[in-house]
Every structure is written in structure tokens, then in C-alpha cells.
Amino acid sequence: MIETYNVPHALVHLFPSELVNELQIDMSFRGKQIFKWISIGAQSFHDMTDLPASLRQSLAERFPSLYTSTVANTFIDKQDGSAKLQIKLYDGTLIESVLLVDTQGRKTACLSTQAGCGMHCAFCKTGTLGFLRNLESYEIIEQYYHLMNNFGKPNNIVFMGMGEPLLNLPNVIKAISIFTAHDGLQISKRKITISTCGIVPGILELAEQHIDVRLAVSLTVADDTIRSQLMPINQTWNLYTLKQALLTYQEKTGERITLELPMLSGINTTPECAYKLVAWIKGLQVQVNLIAWNHVDELPYKTPSSKELTDFITILKQHNINVVQRAKRGRGINGACGQLGRIKQE
């Protein structure tokens, strides 16, 4: 028997004028009030104390919750303060969202854009799940509010959770428009990053639309043979095609691009791989982020040694490439890069 679900009346993705229409209320300024309340984390119309009591009551009866999703489980990493939420969507699907906390106490919300992922990157737990569906814009936005309501307002947003953001770009762009609204959350676009495994049409669309958020590309390795083995997307858009798209993006936006390299011991950590990366980067303005591979039980890779990483970094620095070794955060709760992986209830 196939289960069916009623699509919920979502509100968090609506601007004030859209709220007025959806809620069927007469006065336009009420839409602005409600929009503001949602942006500070109100979860019920009963919380909106500057609305008339009769209006609060009638809206609460029609919309018992402002959210279509609920937090199913919460995990806290006692080592570094990171947190992971397993969030249950209206149709029973589970996704995961992470809050990363750096040594200065700055909080970054790591949001999912799909349930599962169809990219099948060999080193990523989420890639083993397969693709279930795209998330709606309100399902992306609600992740932020769940993190905010549980742990305080995040300073930054990265679309680096489950799924490939550029394969769900309209909903990602809608979410960004809500996050950055001047009468709402007011998050600077400079504090928002979209991470992609290399979806060339999406990169070019970002450039054309001037979304003005930061772009990160999971490059992994600048060798077509190795990258195709690790990242099947390279068989569709190889390193040459990807670089041409990034050059176009850089020309149209003037922005520096972040290249992310999950480092797999003995695979992409060799001096040869470092020199190939140096050659491939030529002509691009980039920062290279090295991420020591985060362990996943069922995957056959190893985290590199300190010496492997140091030697790799030394080569890049010798060629004046800006390189950062990312701190290990969220590993204790399987919330680090490449470790997210639950889309079904047990």
C-alpha cells in the first residue's frame, strides 16, 4: 500500500505580502508583523503578542504550528560543542542538519537541500543513500529555525548538508532570499556559502543571476582518472569543463572560490596530486580547504597522517596558494563533512 500525505500549508518561506494572501487577513502591516515574528523564532501564532488576541486565536486554530517539520533527535558533541538535529519532514522523511561552533564561539548552520544524495561520491556516507527527493524551500528554511531555537542564532549558513544544492537551485535561492531579507533575519550574503560537487550548469546560473553568496567546490583531486573514480559527476563534467565554468563565474562575479579537498590517505595526498592541483588552479583566485577524511565505518578509506597533510600543504604554499587545514568538528556525533546519512525512520 502506497502512503499518501497532505502537503502542508507552509509559512516560513513567505514574504509579508504572501503571508497576507495565504492567511487571508485584511491589513498588510499584519504580514510584516508576522514575518518579523517568524524571523525571531516564533513557533506559534500564540507567541505573536502584538497581534489582536482574536486574530492570534483564529490563526492558531488554522495553523497549530508554524513549521511543517519536527525535531526527531538531538545530538551534542561534548568535545567541540557541535550539534546535529535529525529532522522529520511532513511525509516521514528524515534529514540531518548540523550546527558547527568554532573556537571563537561563532556558529555555522549546515543545511541540507535534498533527502539523500544522487551524486554517489565514494567517500561520503550520504552518497551511499541514493536520492529520495528535493527539499522544498520551507523545509530548508525550517532547518535554520530549528537550529536557532535550540542553540541560538547561527552567524553563518553553509549549504553543505545532505544533497547537492545546485540540483535544487530554485528552492535554495528562495531560502537565501528569506535568510537575507532586510526586515527578517538580515543575514549577510557574505555569510552564506553554497557548496557543489561540480554541477557546471548550476555554477553558470549562479554567475548569471548574481546571487552574490560564496561558492565552494568539492574538487577532491585535480586528476581526471582519480576524480572520476571518487566522484562520478566528473564523468559528466570533467576537470577542464569545471575549470572553464569557474573562470566564467570568477569573471562575472569577481569573487574568490573555495576549493574543498577531503583528503584520503594515499589517494589524493601524494606530492604528484599536490603538483597537479597547483597546475589546475593557475588562473583562478581560490582558497583551498583541506579536510582530513572523516571516518565512515562502511567505507574503505583512511584519514591521512599529519605528515601527509603537512607535506601537501608545504607544496601548495611554495606556489603561493592560500591553503587552510579545516578543524575537525562534529565527528563525535557523525555530523562532520561526509558523515550525514539518515533518511528513513527506524
Q: Which helix (H) or strand (E) holds 97?
A: strand 94-101
Is 164 found in the same domain as 118? yes
pLDDT at 26: 85
Is 265 found in the same domain as 299? yes
DSSP string over 138-185? HHHHHHHHHHHHHH---SEEEE-SSS-GGGSHHHHHHHHHHHT-TTTT
Is 46 found in the same domain as 152? no
Is 123 found in the same domain as 23? no
In-domain check, residue 28: yes
pLDDT at 332: 58
pLDDT at 102: 87
In-domain check, residue 345: no
Q: How many domains does the chain have?
A: 2
Cα–Cα distance, 239 to 61 (Å, whole number): 54
Is 143 found in the same domain as 104? yes
In-domain check, residue 341: no
In-domain check, residue 182: yes
Is 23 found in the same domain as 126? no
Is 47 found in the same domain as 74? no
pLDDT < 70 stretches in the chain: 1-7, 328-339, 342-346
In-domain check, residue 1: no
User: Structural domain of residue 87, as residue ranges?
Assistant: 70-333
Q: Kindly report the CATH number assigned to the domain that includes residue 282.
A: 3.20.20.70
Is 100 found in the same domain as 21? no
The catalytic residues are: 96, 337
Is 292 found in the same domain as 220? yes
Is 127 found in the same domain as 21? no
Alpha-carbon radius of gyration of the chain: 21
In-domain check, residue 342: no
Is 91 found in the same domain as 32? no
Distance of CA 242 to the CA centre of its chain: 20
